[in-house]
Chains A and B, each alone.
Chain A
């Protein structure tokens, strides 16, 4: 124990002294790491795609960490890479908010640079920690929920009943999306009633079962379904289709999965999908990694950046059946490589369609 502590302290000093001498790490000493929650969700696969594109562009080797949905796995795999002695440039899509401090602490001790995406404790800010915690970045969930509410509100002409399928109940991403949806509905469409909110763990299978239970419970009273992401919407739509209700119900969600795009294009149901939001995993990972890379190469000094560039909210686009076509190009086979080209040219905060729009932490609308 004592030996471990001494080693840690020593490593801390070494890390700190490496910072103090402040010469950028040579590229041959750099290794890029992208840590994702799993490798089966389309969003996570897109995360990996972005990391691969940037790794190729910058000529830095890449390691992927598959957390298998477990914080323990995530942290132990990251620690194993940190122990290799290279200077690490890291993007972490954290399994849980509470993982962020542990990972940042380990990266700091090893003298690496990390950008965290999506989840961290609200009061844990990069500027309180140091330059090794380069930034926290996310797409605002409240805005996503508002997009969905506006689309459903307009489609129902301001009157009707909605059920909501949320993600994992303690996920801040799900909470912010649901809060945004509910606040927008209350403010703009007071005659639309939210019948029920049912957490479905981002799982299409569970969303399918929950949707079936709600169909049994409310029958044709349900006019629209809001899901906190497309995976759950896919499960829910199948349940309504099986019940013969798909052409009577409207859907809105987040993520614009290719399957969702196909359903919008084909007008599945009676044009059942009315609202979506657009953002891509490859954009998140490449922007996160590139921000960390700039810090490792001393092209930016994180402590001198304004707070909004360290706890950042990025642009989210509301998608409707009328404007979806302009987003098709971002799913081309070489879209990630093209995005990375503009990213290296324009920098992490100015690359459309995902530009910096403000600073966090994201505030929940009052209920």
Chain B
């Protein structure tokens, strides 16, 4: 009996929380495109600007238009992935599958586009099928995670290898598939309004991701699940559908990133995503998206990606010996994070 009374009490409390969550969601909805915590990102922008100035003094070529375009093009693939990763992390889950999904989608795309192995060109359908493959892998992850309640860490580790396996099967033991259409291979680098196409594609994804989080039910649902899943559930949110959608979007974006990366080198490989995980997860976390969910956003993750890409590019242009580069990279990263987090240290949760 008492337990049922307790349950009623809990529900009452939960309802109170639900109301406040709903209010918060509405508040988020009403805000401008600027993220909730604009102050944090502004210190990030200052830090990145500072790094840019230092590198420009060391090597003036760093600030050249050519290098700016180079950095923007290099940032495009991780930017596209990080948006999907951020959606998932905002729910308090993690997505490790990006590299495998990239391999599968990239291989599917190149084998259906004009390539040196098969006399086939499905044009737009190559995109549809490859993106569909990414989406399906994401959906599969989402369904297993949400319905079967398997931790996302484990499911996505599995999907990573499923994707890699699909890519390897598609690769087979034939010739290395290369794009025979140079126009297609140079698309990411070609300029539109002075900036590389690859970057414009990333901008579309980043803006889309930002709008999704700020203005859609799905975006608010993702934040609500990240803040407190049981409250979100008891307030009638379709939690499972939100989870599946977030993973499906992440799969779709990894697939898009796989296609772009394949275009950039003009050849297909199941390993096309190699190393990306070590850019996007740190980028999201460094930017301030909490792994526990509910906090952060696409602007922060975007800044995190830029910080990592600019640091790497700047170190190469400054002529740092490759033997020291990893060490210097790590040290600079720690300094940058401490400098940016210092003013906010009182408000930070205990970091474990």
Interface residues of A (CB under 8 A from B): 38-40, 42, 45, 48-49, 169, 196-199, 203-206, 208-210, 212-217, 219, 234-235, 238, 241-243, 257-259, 262
Contacts and interface: CB of A to CB of B under 8 A. Distances in A.
A259 B316 contact: no
Interface in B262-302: 264-267, 269-272, 274-275
6 contacts: A215-B66, A217-B317, A219-B61, A235-B265, A243-B189, A257-B176
A217 B59 contact: yes
Interface string B311-351: 00100110100110000000000000000000000000000
Contacts of A205: 261, 264-265, 271-272, 274-275
Nearest to A52: B173
A335 to B, nearest CB: 13
Contacts of B269: 40, 204
B199 interface: no
Nearest to A261: B175
Interface string B156-178: 00000000000110010101101
A211 to B, nearest CB: 10
With a 10 A CB-CB cut-off, give which of B67, B171, B264, B265 has the most chain A CB atoms: B265
Nearest to B59: A217
A245 B303 CA distance: 31
Given A45-B173, A217-B316, 5 more contacts: A198-B316, A205-B274, A210-B316, A217-B59, A262-B116
Contacts, number: 94
A216 B317 contact: yes
Given A208-B264, A235-B265, A262-B116, A217 B61 contact: yes
A187 to B, nearest CB: 24
Contact of A258 (B62, B176, B316): B176
A213 B313 contact: yes
A199 B116 CA distance: 28
A45 B317 CA distance: 36
A307 B272 CA distance: 41
Contacts of B25: none
Interface in B69-102: 70, 73-74
Contacts of B270: 40
A204 B317 CA distance: 20
Contacts of B275: 203, 205-206
A242 B196 CA distance: 11
Contact of B175 (A48, A210, A212, A259): A259
Given A39-B168, A203-B275, A210-B316, A259 B74 contact: no
Sort A-B residue pairs by CB-CB distance and give the 8 closest, nearest first.
A242-B189, A216-B67, A213-B316, A238-B266, A45-B173, A216-B70, A40-B270, A259-B176
B64 to A, nearest CB: 7
Contacts of B234: none
Nearest to A257: B176
A197 B325 CA distance: 13
A227 B266 CA distance: 17
A197 B66 contact: no
Nearest to B180: A262
Contact of B267 (A198, A203, A213, A234): A234
A210 B316 CA distance: 8
B186 interface: yes
A293 to B, nearest CB: 23
A215 to B, nearest CB: 7
Contacts of B28: none
B182 interface: yes
B211 interface: no
Contact of B66 (A196, A210, A216, A257): A216
A238 B317 contact: no
B185 interface: yes
Contacts of B188: 242
A238 B264 contact: yes
A199 B186 CA distance: 25
Contacts of A219: 61, 66
Contacts of B264: 205, 208, 238
B300 to A, nearest CB: 24
Contacts of B317: 213, 216-217
Nearest to A200: B322
A208 B189 CA distance: 12
A343 B149 CA distance: 56
Nearest to B65: A216
B171 A40 contact: yes
Nearest to A212: B70
B309 to A, nearest CB: 9
A39 B175 CA distance: 13
A241 B59 CA distance: 24
B265 A198 contact: no
B267 A204 contact: yes
Contact of A214 (B176, B185, B265, B316): B316
Contacts of B189: 242-243
Contacts of A262: 116, 178
Contacts of A215: 66, 70
A234 B265 contact: yes
Contacts of B59: 217
A338 B274 CA distance: 35
With a 10 A CB-CB cut-off, give which of A42, A199, A205, A208 has the most chain B CB atoms: A205
B274 A203 contact: yes
Interface string B242-274: 000000000000000000010011110111101
Contacts of A259: 116, 175-176, 178, 267
B274 A242 contact: no
Contacts of A49: 173
A169 B322 CA distance: 9
A214 B313 CA distance: 9
A234 B178 CA distance: 10
B266 A213 contact: no
Contact of A212 (B73, B182, B271): B73
Contact of A48 (B167, B173, B261): B173
Nearest to B261: A205
A235 B264 CA distance: 8
A234 B266 contact: yes
B316 to A, nearest CB: 4
B322 A241 contact: no
A195 to B, nearest CB: 10
